[in-house]
Amino acid sequence: MWETDKTIDKAAQQMLKITAADGVATVWDRYEAQQPQCGFGSLGICCRNCLQGPCRINPFGEPKRGVCGADADTIVARNLLRSLAGGTAAHVDHAYEAVEALEKIATGDIDYVIKDENKLIATARQVGIETDGKDSKGVAKEVAQKALETLSGHEGEMGWLSAWAPKERVDVWRQLGVIPRGADREIREAMHQTSMGVDADPTNLLLAGVKQGLVDGYAGLKLATDIQDIIFGMPQPVKSEANLGVLNAEYVNVVVHGHVPLLSEKVLEWCRKLEDEAKAAGARGINVAGICCTGNEVLMRQGVPPATNFLGQELALATGAVDLMVVDVQCILPSVTNVAQCYHGDIVTTMPIAKVPGADHIPFSLEEADQQAEKIVRQSIESYKKRGSTPVHIPDERALIFAGFSVEAIIGALSKVNAEDPLKPLVDNIKAGNILGAVATVGCNNVKVKQDMMHVELVKELIANNVLVIATGCSAHALGKAGLLHPDATNNLAGNGLKAVLTAVGEAAGLGGPLPPVLHMGSCVDNSRIGDLLTALAGYMGVNIKDLPVAASAPEPQHEKALSIGTWAVALGVFTHLGLPPHILGSKAVTGTLTDKVEDLLGGKFYVESDPAKAAAGIIRHIKDKRHALGL
Ligand code: NFS
Ligand code: SF4
């Protein structure tokens, strides 16, 4: 039963037996081969930022300083800031692609359109653009211009932040001197600040880290979500299914993997257009499934079923049923080509910065998006024809899920209970204690944790204690596979207070039953929706975000992006749980600041706990403390 030590996902367990029998290495095997992992790296006390190194600090004795004189605190803080800049750069680059698309839509030379004019107008007004008497392309052009200033401005306060952040927060950040200018300038500055012989002051480095968190939140997450909503439409509740059982042997199976919906939306469009060609090739049609966050994007807006999350990507290929996996950027294991070679299926990379040896590269551009998507889908049909006698093992595992809970969709459901004052039923129930509080579970899988276990165990405990959960990213995938994005989970697992509220809202919204106990809000960039919801709730209750009975959790964080998102959450004043420590434990000063002292400055802090029951207890204790402070 070794496979149950690696994952709680039944489909993944079945596939692991197959890869083991076939002698195909997966992420779990490579993790084992890495043992023991380097203790210096784990503690964050190695530095290779200059050619006099690499240097490492002995946590138990000498040496206490690197060749240049940097001590453990400096090295840990510097490494953390570099990681934060890495995660932030990924989100900001993603946002840039969406902004570039909006700009080109406005000037009329690409095959994308504006699907949500209301969001365009609302966004324009919020960032201070006069919209009266202008057509939507004119407004789009100005919005794109403002967005570009947020990305590349060299002075002043970041526009997207000023437009959206609560005033109380802006004052706190301004006092600390952490309000960012343009994103590119701040990311560049973090790289400079951490280079040899620049900043040695851990406090100053950590404050720069907070600034990266704000860049991530506003120029990454929020900007990407706003522009993607404008181009692809606002998510509305959808039903779908999750897990490898969504693959279908009788269809051409196309898997979209990566992060930016500019590619996946086009591929989906062409899969629908070329159905007949697939049928002519002997298939029953084309079946599209998603992995990682681009999977969340097309789930939220199009109902495309998610096949699996981060740790399952190789296992999807091992089914032998994936005819083509097309990827853009982020969270793509370089091993996917090996696994595909052992089984079946083409791996197609599309971005100039994300190539994988052994994959086919079809460069994707906004100008030729249609031609390229068409080419990719045609290639998937050709690949299907070559499937031949490859054994196909699709685990019969799929769970029904509901997704698409944008803030607008949640308010829409609540307005069925109280049309005049939609937030009132939610807030009244929080005040009355039927809902104890709310927790956002976000982020990745990490091979160091049994796949999905932390997400699922933590959330079961929270909902049993009447905590409403909202989820994004690979956390939402994990919870979906485990049945927690379905109304049955409300009936079977939620505490009585939470169950009663979700039932009342679900019935008023015409679902004929409760809402799920976990509301799927989208991809990792959609964490901005959580920020919007918290801002709205705090505003409605007349308190600050840091006073709300809420928390965030990345139960199985893996990517640098998860650290940047977490830092933004802490900067907002949110108590933020991590199921694994980042590589900072080699500095007591840095660890102590992030898990304790920072609370006095920002109202939020990190809380690290690897046991799901203890983590739930810690989060619930925090929520109860906040309720108490509010007199609830
Ligand atoms: Ni978020 Fe998404 Fe998943 Fe983690 Fe990777 S897919 S952007 S980084 S692993 S949640
Ligand atoms: Fe060593 Fe300092 Fe160079 Fe880092 S910057 S490698 S600690 S000499």
Predicted pLDDT of residue 390: 87
Q: Which residue has the tokens 């939470």?
A: 498
Q: Is the CB of 478 under 6 A from ligand 1?
A: no
Q: Residue 404 — φ and ψ, nearest 5°?
A: 85, 20
Distance from residue 473's CA to the centre of ligand 1 (Å): 6
**467 within 8 A of 439, measured Cβ to Cβ:** yes
Q: DSSP letters of 224-274?
A: HHHHHHHHH-----EEEEESGGG--TTSEEEEEESS-HHHHHHHHHHHHHT
Ligand 2 pocket, 509 CB below 6 A? no
196 CB burial (10 A radius; 0-12, 13-18, 19+): middle
What is the model's pLDDT at position 388? 84
DSSP code, position 37: P
Mean pLDDT of 6-15: 98
Q: Please indicate whether residue 443, judged by its CB atom, sits closer than 6 Å to ligand 1.
A: yes
Please tell me whether 271 is known to bind a ligand.
no
Label the pairing between strands 46-47 and 55-56: antiparallel
Report, as an integer, the average pLDDT of 435-453: 98
Categorize the per-residue pLDDT at 389 as very low, low, confident or very high, splitting at 50, 70 and 90: confident
Ligand closest to Cα of 446 equals: 1
pLDDT above 80: residue 1: no
CA of 571 to the centre of ligand 2 (A): 30
- Percent of the chain exceeding pLDDT 70 equals 100
Does the C-beta of 487 come closer than 6 Å to ligand 2? no
Q: Is the pLDDT of residue 108 over 90?
A: no
Q: Radius of gyration (Cα) for the chain, nearest Å?
A: 24
Q: pLDDT per residue over 235-263, tens digit each?
A: 999 999 999 999 999 999 999 999 999 99
Is residue 464 in contact with ligand 2, taking CB distance under 6 Å?
no
To test ligand 2's pocket by mutation, which of 48, 50, 587 has the most ligand atoms within 8 angstroms of CB?
A: 50
Most informative mutation of 84, 94, 559 for ligand 1 (most atoms within 8 A of CB): 559
Query: How much distance in Å is there from the Cα of 53 to the middle of ligand 2?
Result: 5
CA–centroid distance, 10 to ligand 1, in Å, is: 21
Q: Does the Cβ of 553 fall within 6 Å of ligand 1?
A: no
Give per-residue pLDDT as tens, 120-175: 999 999 999 999 999 999 999 999 999 999 999 999 999 999 999 999 999 999 99
Please write the tens of the pLDDT for every residue from 22-52: 999 999 999 999 999 999 999 999 999 999 9
Which pLDDT value is given to residue 527?
98
524 lines ligand 1 (CB under 6 A): yes
- Structure confidence at residue 558 as a pLDDT band (50, 70, 90): very high
Instruction: Enter the ipTM.
Output: 0.95
Q: Which amino acid is at 231?
A: I
Q: What is the pLDDT of residue 592?
A: 98
Q: Mean of the pLDDT values across residues 282-291?
A: 98
Query: Which residues share a beta bridge with 238?
Result: 403
Q: Whose CA is nearest to atom 5 of ligand 1?
A: 331
CA dihedral 136, 138, 144, 146 (to 10 degrees): -120
Ligand 1 centre distance from Cα of residue 587 (Å): 27
Q: Which ligand is nearest to the CA of 68?
A: 2
Confidence of residue 363 (pLDDT cuts 50, 70, 90): very high
**566 ligand 1 Cβ < 6 A:** no
Q: How confident is the model at residue 61 (pLDDT cuts 50, 70, 90)?
A: very high
Query: Is 80 exceeded by the pLDDT of residue 100?
Result: yes
Q: Which ligand is nearest to the CA of 294?
A: 1
Question: Ligand 2 centroid to 416 CA: how many Å?
Answer: 60
Q: How does DSSP classify residue 304? A: P
Distance between CA atoms of 490 and 467, rounded to whole angstroms? 11
Ligand 1: centre distance to CA 308 (Å):
12
pLDDT bracket for residue 593 (50, 70, 90): very high
Q: How far is the CA of 105 from the centre of ligand 1 (A)?
A: 28
Q: Give pLDDT, residue 448.
A: 98
- Mean pLDDT across the stretch 380-396? 95
pLDDT band at 434 (very low <50, low <70, confident <90, very high): very high
Spell out a b/e string for 528-563, using b for 16 or more CB atoms within 10 Å of the CB, else e.
bbbbbbbbbbbeeeeebbbbbbbbbbbbbbbbbbbb
Pocket test for ligand 1, best of 83, 264, 558 (most atoms within 8 A of CB): 558
**Hey, whose CA ends up nearest to atom 7 of ligand 2?**
66
Mean pLDDT across the stretch 89-103?
Answer: 98
User: What is the chain's mean pLDDT, rounded?
Assistant: 97
Per-residue pLDDT tens over the stretch 499-523: 999 999 999 988 899 999 999 999 9
pTM of the model: 0.98
Identify the pLDDT of residue 461: 98
- Cα of 525 from ligand 1 centre, angstroms: 9
**Is the CB of residue 55 below 6 angstroms from any atom belonging to ligand 1?**
no
Q: Which is the closest atom of ligand 1 to the Cα of 442?
A: 10
292 belongs to an annotated ligand binding site: no
In the predicted structure, residue 578 carries a pLDDT above the cut 80: yes
